[in-house]
Amino acid sequence: MSDRTPLMAGNWKMNLNHLEAIAHVQKLAFALADKDYETVEVAVLPPFTDLRSVQTLVDGDKLKIKYGAQDISVHSSGAYTGEISGPMLSKLKCSYVTVGHSERRQYHAETDETCNAKVKAAYQHGITPILCVGEGLKVRKAGNHVAHTLAQVDGGLQDLPAEQAASIVIAYEPVWAIGTGEVATPEDAQEVCGAIRKRLVALYSRELADAVRIQYGGSVKAANIAAIMAKPDVDGALIGGAALDADEFVKIVRFRD
Ligand code: PEP
C-alpha cells in the first residue's frame, strides 16, 4: 500500500450559490467531525462566487476541509474580462485549482498548451493544480485511450520543473464516464492511472512518480468508490454529481468505513 494520502475532491461545477455553499460545507464538517479523517484529504471546488464564503467558514471554524477553484487565468492581472487570476485565488487561500477539466476543454476550447500555461500560473501563485486528463468515447472505442491520455499529461506538464511536478495532482477522467452514470471499471481506472505513473517515471523519476497523487473521476459514488480505491495507482477521486449530495460525498470520503 502506498503512503500517498488519498484526495477526495468535490467538483461542484456551476452549482450551489454562496448561501447553499455555506450550508453544504457546514453539513460536511458536521458529518466528518466525529471521525479522524486525516488519512483522507477532503476538498471542495465551488464556483468562484462561493469561494469567499467557504474561506470564511473554513478559517473561522478551523475546518480541515480544503477548497479550491475550478479554473485559473493564465494572466496575473489586466484587461481580461470575466477571468479570475492566480493572485486572486491565492489571496482567498485556495489550495487547489482544476486545470483542463473536460468541460473546459470541450466548451471553452482549452488545449494542452492552455492547460500547461494554467498549471504554471497555479504554481506561480502557490496553488496546487489538479490536471484533468482523459479520453472521449471515440478514442476509447478505437483503443487509443492510454496514448491519448498520456499525450495530455505530456502537454500539461511541458517544461514543468520537478520541484513543482512533485506536488501536482492528476485526475484521470474518461470523458464518457463524466456525468453519464457510466463508470469505468476499477481495472480501466488502474490501467490508465498506472500508465500515467509510469509516464511520470519517464518524465521525471521513480521517486517523484511515487509521490504524485493520481485520481479517478467519472460517475464516482459511494457504491463504487471502494473498488476503485483498491487499485494501487488510484489515489483518490474527483467527484462531480455525487459531491452535490453532502451525505453521498461523506460516504465517499469514508470509503474505508
Ligand atoms: C467531474 O466533473 O469531474 C466528474 C467526474 O463528474 P461526475 O462525478 O458527475 O461524473
> Would 1 be classed as within a structural domain?
no
Query: Ligand 1: which residue has its CA nearest to atom 2?
Result: 240
Let me know how many helices (H) and strands (E) the chain has, helices first. 12, 8
Please give the helix or strand (H or E) that residue 119 lies within, else none: helix 112-124
The answer as to whether 27 is a domain residue is yes
CATH code (residue 177): 3.20.20.70
Ligand 1 atom closest to the Cα of residue 237 is 5
> Is the minimum distance from the CB of 243 to ligand 1 under 6 angstroms?
no
Does the annotation place 12 within a ligand binding site? yes
Supply the pLDDT for residue 36. Answer: 57
pLDDT at position 47 over 70: yes
**Helix 186-203, helix 222-229: angle, nearest 10:** 50
* pLDDT > 70 fraction of the chain, expressed in percent and rounded: 98
pTM listed for this prediction: 0.97
How many domains does the chain contain in total? 1
d(CA 193, CA 199) in angstroms, rounded, equals 10
The answer to whether residue 29 scores a pLDDT higher than 90 is yes
Asked whether residue 224 is assigned to any structural domain, the reply reads: yes
| Residue 2: inside a domain | no
Give Cβ neighbours of residue 247 (< 8 Å, ≥ 6 apart): 31
pLDDT tens per residue, range 127-161: 999 999 999 999 999 999 999 999 999 999 999 99
Q: How many other C-beta atoms lie within 10 A of the C-beta of residue 1?
A: 4
- Locate 237 and state its grid cell: 477521486
Q: Which domain holds residue 85?
A: 7-253
Helix segments in 204-243, DSSP class H: 206-211, 222-229
pLDDT at 99: 98
The verdict on residue 162 lying in a domain is yes
Cα(86) to centroid(ligand 1), Å: 24
Residue 78 CA to ligand 1 center (angstroms) comes to 32
179 is in an annotated binding site: yes
Q: Which whole number is the average pLDDT over 54-70?
A: 94
Residue 213 falls inside a structural domain = yes
Question: Does 49 reside within a domain?
Answer: yes
The pLDDT, as a whole number, for residue 238 is 98
With H, G, I as helix, E, B as strand and everything else as coil, classify residue 117: helix
Q: State the Cα–Cα distance between residues 153 and 192, nearest whole angstrom.
A: 11
Ligand 1 centre to CA of 224 (Å) is 14
Q: Indicate whether 89 belongs to any domain.
A: yes
